[in-house]
Amino acid sequence: MFTGCVLWVVVYFLLLAIAVVGDLGVGGPLALPAGLIAVIAACLFLGWGVFAPASGIGAIFCRLLNLPRLAAIPIVTVAAFLLTYAVYSGYIELVTTHSRPSAWPVLMNFAIYLSVPLGVYWWLTEGPGALFDSFRWWIRSRRLPKTTRELSESQNA
């Protein structure tokens, strides 16, 4: 969110400088705060409407199957894509008069525009715990006997 706000301020002042140098209209005084509000609203919507539920779905999936949290990455990505497709389809149905989009353009746009922010969000919120959990899972798997024969040999000794 901070990066988006800083980027908007830089773009705003760049456009303002171009307008002054080119003797163009400088626009209204509400452009800067309106842009900041739009960036904050978009970040909050994506964070709480797509990224957080997708991360929750991945965490529930890993807990149900007793997997390390690091295994949630593909599940989170698929869940975020499905949530994005649902939001986009709802927008198309409620706001516009276009037909429902196919999944391919939505998948391409998701991969181009949302996969990196989703990865950053996941690694900031789940990453440290996931690495610790994976390390602990690896240590536990190394300590457990590999076969039933090894288990019986250790019990007979």
pLDDT in tens, 22-64: 877 767 777 788 888 888 888 888 888 888 899 899 989 988 9
> Residue 15 and residue 75: Cα distance in Å, rounded?
41
Largest Cα separation within the chain, whole Å, is 91
Report whether pLDDT(157) > 60: no
